[in-house]
Copies of this chain bind each other. A is one copy, B any other.
């Protein structure tokens, strides 16, 4: 409710902001005295204590034990991210470094690999990059290769540089001329189109071939359609898992479930899938559906070769993370990757 927030006047918000900043920096519960010393709040510790009591009442902070400092709750971080902090833009040298690092990539795999390592280095956290997905991309070329009399290899090349291949076992021998004809027709209709559109465009193709060849044509097309639809083949790349040990220092117990989650590509894909397409998404602690990641936060955003986002990337770190900096890094990297993809 809006009322809840209104109860917190300007100074209380400043106190919350200060608590978050200090806690992120020191990793230790922060007390009233230390707070006024570091930040020019212009009030005494006692006043801050009162504000803290109010903030705790509202559930934005909490103390691990009586007579310990305060720690932001998930709700506190949420308020911080939504209202109290700005995304911190990358500095010019940082931007140059990003650009330079990504420009060296030679191939889609390489782009993704570099991106994920870069992101891990910049944020000193665990980085996740999803390969450009098939559904949003368009067909650049479809190739058919006869490998054996009744065996055809199907190669699908997308505008994002992704290549998928499938073996097709045909019902009978496949003539080279038929194959060439089929290849030409498929490409004439499908090139440049969105992947999901393609099946509709090729529906009537078998009818154009002689009776004898139709089973083969249908088989090939069926495999092609499968490949086009195969969303689950979406791959993910990880980097920076070693950073887990750093922020696991407080909670060494939590590192195991996190590692487990990171190995489950399905989990990661679902996490990224929850990201709004263009806008940056921040999921804090328990906002996260997956239990093993209850004490982590995820900052993710879509990236794409044009205006459109074709995949997601992000960072996984402790709830106690530098949100403005992380968000800045994630946004910057996503932008540059988008540019790289658009250029190639």
Contacts and interface: CB of A to CB of B under 8 A. Distances in A.
Contacts of A255: 245
Interface residues of A, number: 27
A116 to B, nearest CB: 10
A78 interface: no
A263 interface: yes
A145 B147 contact: no
A27 interface: no
A147 B187 CA distance: 11
Interface in A248-277: 252, 255-256, 259-260, 262-263
A339 interface: no
A153 interface: yes
Interface in A144-160: 145, 147, 153, 155, 157
Interface stretch (A32-40, A236-244, A299-307): A236-244
A322 interface: no
Contacts of A157: 145, 147, 153, 165
A254 to B, nearest CB: 10
A263 B239 contact: yes
A218 B259 CA distance: 48
Query: 7 nearest interchain CB pairs?
Result: A242-B259, A245-B256, A242-B260, A163-B165, A143-B145, A241-B259, A141-B145
Given A143-B143, A157-B153, A263 B240 contact: yes
A140 interface: yes
Nearest to A162: B165
A238 to B, nearest CB: 9
A344 to B, nearest CB: 8
Interface string A107-124: 100000000000000000
Contacts of A155: 143, 155, 163
Contact of A241 (B145, B239, B241, B252): B241
Contacts of A240: 263
Contacts of A165: 157, 163
Interface string A129-148: 00000000000110101010
A262 B163 CA distance: 27
A242 B261 CA distance: 9
Contacts of A147: 140-141, 157
A185 to B, nearest CB: 16
A141 B163 contact: no
Given A157-B165, A241-B262, 13 more contacts: A141-B153, A143-B143, A143-B145, A145-B157, A153-B157, A155-B155, A163-B163, A239-B263, A241-B241, A241-B263, A242-B259, A245-B259, A246-B256
A303 B32 CA distance: 63
Interface string A203-242: 0000000000000000000000000000000000001111
